[in-house]
């Protein structure tokens, strides 16, 4: 057999590359013309990612009751002039509220934000803001595009090893439900104590609510830590959450009674 020269090899590779490009463009044209295309097999990268996130990103069919309720109440929070985060829709003393992180709506250019689920959106107004703890609540009219859960504040800290779940909109993803395990506690931001959870999170997930298996709210996702090595690096498998027990319910009650009449809870008129 004649031995191929280096030039011959380069020529053959060039021909194969051109053929691949022609095939790619032909496939694109067929798709634009409406010709059905078969689903390509998963790449090695996709297989690796599916294996890595197995047991963490939870298929909807495998959610327990508390996780289904938490997922049903998850929303996007769009802040005019700023960006977006996540939140969870709850009811409390007749009020309809969205729990989120304070930094999600801190830079709003208006006194309201959009609450979004699917193709529907509703305006909500800030009613509670704690920048130090990075937790905030928004008041809104009853929303029919999402199902609320009753605000059930978990007072004891979840112990190390307990599994918690959040549903939110990290990155450019649609709604995801993600499990994680409490691995410790850490004081950050002026000695504010946060729950450290071994799970996954990305920008856009801020404000998502962590629930335990009984459906009690344990915390609010507020940050992804940055590792301080040779090069700063996002530790996206570690999440900081503000314990929901820091929520000042007396302060919330007072602020609820200052809302405009159409979203002010009825208990305010009895005072």
Whole-number Å distance between alpha carbons of 185 and 166: 18
pTM for this entry: 0.76
Mean pLDDT of 246-253: 96
Mean pLDDT of 11-29: 33
pLDDT at position 60:
63
Whole-number Å distance between alpha carbons of 56 and 49: 11
* Tens-place pLDDT, residues 202-225: 889 999 999 999 999 999 999 988
Q: Please enumerate in sequence order all residues whose Cβ is within 8 A of that of 149, keeping only pairs 6 or more positions apart, or say none.
A: 69, 70, 72, 73, 88, 89, 90, 91, 215
Asked if residues 36 and 175 have their Cβ atoms less than 8 Å apart, the reply is no
């Amino acid at each position: 057999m004649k031995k191929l020269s280096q030039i011959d090899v380069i020529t053959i590779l060039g021909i194969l590359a051109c053929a691949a490009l022609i095939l790619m463009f032909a496939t694109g044209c067929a798709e634009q013309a409406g010709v059905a295309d078969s689903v390509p097999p998963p790449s090695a990268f996709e297989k690796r990612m599916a294996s890595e996130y197995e047991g963490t990103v939870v298929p909807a069919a495998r959610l327990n009751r508390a996780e289904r309720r938490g997922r049903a109440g998850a929303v996007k929070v769009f802040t005019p002039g700023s960006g977006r985060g996540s939140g969870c829709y709850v009811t409390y003393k007749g009020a309809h509220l969205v729990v989120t992180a304070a930094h999600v709506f801190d830079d709003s250019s208006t006194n309201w934000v959009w609450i979004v689920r699917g193709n529907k959106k509703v305006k909500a107004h800030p009613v509670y803001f704690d920048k130090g703890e990075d937790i905030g609540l928004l008041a809104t009219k009853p929303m029919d595009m999402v199902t609320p859960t009753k605000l059930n504040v978990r007072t004891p800290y979840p112990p190390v090893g307990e599994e918690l779940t959040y549903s939110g909109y990290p990155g450019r993803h649609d709604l995801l439900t993600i499990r994680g395990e409490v691995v410790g506690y850490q004081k950050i931001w002026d000695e504010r104590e946060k729950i450290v959870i071994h799970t996954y999170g990305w920008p856009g997930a801020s404000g998502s609510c962590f629930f335990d298996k009984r459906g009690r709210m344990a915390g609010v996702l507020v940050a992804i830590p940055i590792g301080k090595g040779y090069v700063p690096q996002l530790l996206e498998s570690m999440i900081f959450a503000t314990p929901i027990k820091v929520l000042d319910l007396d302060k919330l009650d007072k602020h609820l009674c200052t809302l405009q009449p159409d979203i002010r809870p009825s208990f305010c008129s009895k005072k």
